[in-house]
Amino acid sequence: MDRKTEQDVDFEGFSFDAFDEARRPAPQTTGFDQVVDSALSRRGLLGLLVYGSGAAAMGLGTGVTGLLSSVSAEAAASRFAFTAIPIATDATVHVPEGYTWQVLARWGDPLFSDAVAFDHATGGDAATSDRVFGENTDGMELFTIGGRQVIAVNHEYVNPKLNLPNNDGGTPASAEDVRKLQNLQGVTVMEVAEGEDGWRIVVDSPLNRRIDHNTPMRLSGPAAGHDLLKTEADPTGTASLGTFNNCGSGRTPWGTYLTCEENFNGYFGSTDEAVALPEHFKRYGIGAKSVYSYEKFDPRFDVSKNPNEPHRAGYVVEIDPSDPTSVPVKRTALGRFKHENAATVLTRDGRVVVYMGDDERGEFLYKFVSAGIYTPGGDTSTLLDEGTLFVARFADDGSGEWVALTPETTGMSAAEIAVFTRVAASKVGATTMDRPEWVAVNPVAAEAYCALTNNTRRGVKPNAGGDDTPVGGPNPRAENQYGQIVRWYPAGDDHAATGFTWDLFVMAGNPTVHQDAYAGSPNIHDGNMFNAPDGMMFDTTGLLWIQTDGDDDNAGDFAGHGNNQMLAGDPATGRIERFLTGPHGSEVTGLTWSADRRTMFVGIQHPASPFPDGEGTLGRSSIVAVKRADNAPVG
């Protein structure tokens, strides 16, 4: 998806991931030949490895001709309560026969009755833009609070050409324009209800809330109060404003929402283009040129005036959806990087584990393990402040280890580890990954999965820290345009363990175009092809739902892949079936279920087509509600 230039700020039909990747390519700082030599020697030695469910490694060669563990066709089929659907290339949503879908919420839909209804001519009312459902829906979680069903959902970014359609190029021309863009991002908390006409937002619910780029936040954990986090407006280094580029989601066992700040770097720029920026900005892609020009009207985003402000973004933020007056908390103990999502699970002794991917080419996979034990009803206020952050190191033999990031292992202070986490992870030799997107933890087996969406620089260029990106391990294809899903099994079936074994659940590909490793693993065939796995979520039955954010041109390497989609995968068999297709130019991202599990809510982000309002309208990111026609549970 490297089709964007630095000058082009038109996101229509593109995810922010693809935009950021094209805009800030990793520097070529180490020897190209050295990297390729290393890649080729490892590839020649090992071939591609795909392992069966925790079994011994099967060296399959570059054709990946083996299969995951085998079961009967009937047993495999019984896990799927739907008939797989074909690809689509049109401008709407498709689900299997026997299922229905409807729109729950669209960008611009009022959350409060004093908000002005959406107007396609203006891209929505500016004055009440903090009272409506925001733009670019992403990760979401549903909570049941006092008998009410409440969805907390991210709004990752804005497309200014849609939000400010009457501005030249969508460029903000005033502080008011900037404020409108800031208001449409962040998080929505909204009550939803199902009536005779289906699902709707409960307008004016006392639990409805918008959290945006100006909402007061508290910084907690090892970096809170450190000089790196102090600004002129906040000399304490503990109180920031806003949450940025909210991508994937998570939920804690105590009922709070976790929103993950991903490509935060793009919000910061400099009004003084000649300003000397700190060297460490490079690792995070922070430069003098911002995406939205906030800095021209809002000095907080001007790094020539506020060089510490970017240190206050790039975190996992905890939000209490049951209290609209609560102050969201930025949990610095979970590290600062381009956070995708936050998948939680408890250790055998009740500590909290949070798995997290850093979505950038050649960056890393992390987990946080709390020091304290979670007890229902107990004090949870510091569980995500005190603990150990680990980073994954994968070995080519199917084993791996979580390496603790501590002052002893990194030579950095706890605060520095929390702020410059990527640097700390590089110091311990973490494995450079093919862009870790969502992590999902299986609720019925001791295993977790991470979508490695793609990495067209694998084996070609180092990451932004200069770490080599050799072909091998869970990243077995050079110039990997398709992506794969890696799975790991913690030692002793305990997510507290520092040891694990791993395999690849699937390698996406195209067996109709390629006969080599780029065909994908054996569980990929012409009836379930996809590229760029991204969103992932398990249902209660242990079925893995996979959402894509890839190339939907349906041509060349991607012929037969169609629009972005959602598939279901069976961890036991490796079988994968297509369940839903999105409108052309959209990404399918975000998944949660109603309290009775009879509805699944699916996010449709940045449709390039006039979805869902039809011809002549702006494409509006939307949440759709999917049900079975017989109202049986859907996960």
The footprint of Ca ion (CB under 5 A) covers 17, 437, 534, 549
Handedness of CA 286, 290, 296, 297 (dihedral sign): negative
Q: Nearest approach, Cβ of 363 to ligand FEO (angstroms)?
A: 11
Q: Which distant-in-sequence residues (6+ apart) come within 8 Å of 196 by Cβ?
A: none
Nearer residue to Ca ion within complex by CB, 128 or 622: 622
Q: Which helix (H) or strand (E) holds 35?
A: helix 32-46
Q: Give the list of residues 6+ apart from residue 249 with CB closer than 8 angstroms, or none.
A: 138, 139, 140, 141, 152, 153, 154, 257, 258, 259, 260, 341, 342, 590
Is residue 20 a contact point for ligand FEO (CB under 6 A)?
Answer: no
Pick the closer one to Ca ion by CB: 302 or 534. Answer: 534
**Which 3 state secondary structure label does DSSP give 254?**
coil
Q: Which amino acid is at 334?
A: L
- C-beta of 605: minimal distance to ligand FEO in Å? 9
497, 351, 504, 491: which is closest to 433 by C-alpha?
504
Q: Please select the residue that binds ligand FEO; options are 109, 135, 141, 156, rule is CB under 6 A.
A: 156
Which of Ca ion, ligand FEO, none interacts with 447 (beta carbon under 5 to 8 A by kind)? none
Give the Cα separation of 590 and 573 in Å (integer): 25
- For ligand FEO, the binding residue among 17, 109, 467, 552 (CB under 6 A) is 17
DSSP state of 525: -
- Of 309 and 549, which has the nearer Cβ to Ca ion? 549
3-state secondary structure of 181: helix
511, with CB counted inside 10 A (0-12, 13-18, 19+), is middle
**Interaction between residue 21 and ligand FEO (CB under 6 A):** no
**Binding flag, residue 262, ligand FEO (CB under 6 A):** yes
Candidate list 177, 358, 416, 437; residue touching ligand FEO; CB under 6 A = 437
Question: By C-beta, is 15 or 521 nearer to ligand FEO?
Answer: 15
Residues 6+ apart with CB under 8 A from 462: 26, 27, 28, 29, 30, 35, 362, 432, 468, 469
**What is the layout of strands, in order, in the sheet containing 448-452?**
343-346, 351-357, 365-373, 387-394, 399-404, 499-507, 484-490, 448-452, 436-441
Closer to Ca ion by Cβ: residue 464 or 591 = 591
Rule CB under 6 A: say whether 503 interacts with ligand FEO: no
Task: Report what 156 binds from ligand FEO, Ca ion, none; CB cut-off 5-8 Å by kind.
Answer: ligand FEO
- d(CA 500, CA 491) in angstroms, rounded, equals 5
In the bound state with ligand FEO, the residue whose beta carbon lies nearer, of 199 and 364, is 364
Q: Which of 17, 552 has the CB closer to Ca ion?
A: 17
Question: Smallest distance, Å, CB 257 to ligand FEO?
Answer: 16
User: Shortest gap between Cβ of 357 and ligand FEO (angstroms)?
Assistant: 8
Choice from 141, 359, 447, 570 touching ligand FEO (CB under 6 A): 359
Closest contact distance (angstroms) between CB of 470 and ligand FEO is: 23
Contact present, 458 and 434 (Cβ < 8 Å): yes
Q: Which of 201, 247, 485, 486 binds ligand FEO (CB under 6 A)?
A: 247
| Site membership for ligand FEO, residue 340 (CB under 6 A) | yes
Nearest approach in angstroms of CB 230 to ligand FEO is: 29
Residues near ligand FEO (CB under 6 A), total: 9
C-alpha to C-alpha distance for 183 and 132, rounded to whole angstroms: 9
Q: CB of residue 340 vs Ca ion: minimum separation in angstroms? A: 6
Query: Which of the choices Ca ion, ligand FEO, none does residue 262 contact, using the CB cut-off of 5 to 8 A by kind?
Result: ligand FEO
Which structure tokens are listed for 315?
């975190």
Pick one of ligand FEO, Ca ion, none as the site partner of residue 551 (Cβ within 5 to 8 A by kind). Answer: none
Instruction: End-to-end CA distance of the chain: give it in Å, rounded.
Output: 32
Least Cα distance to 333 among 448, 409, 226, 434 occurs for: 226
**Smallest gap from residue 183 Cβ to ligand FEO (A):** 20
Specify the residue, 136 or 240, whose C-beta has the smaller distance to ligand FEO: 136
Among all chains, which residue has been given the structure tokens 């011809």? 615
Compare residues 88 and 247 and give the one whose CB is closer to ligand FEO.
247
What residue ranges bind ligand FEO (CB under 6 A)? 16-17, 156, 247, 262, 340, 359, 437, 534
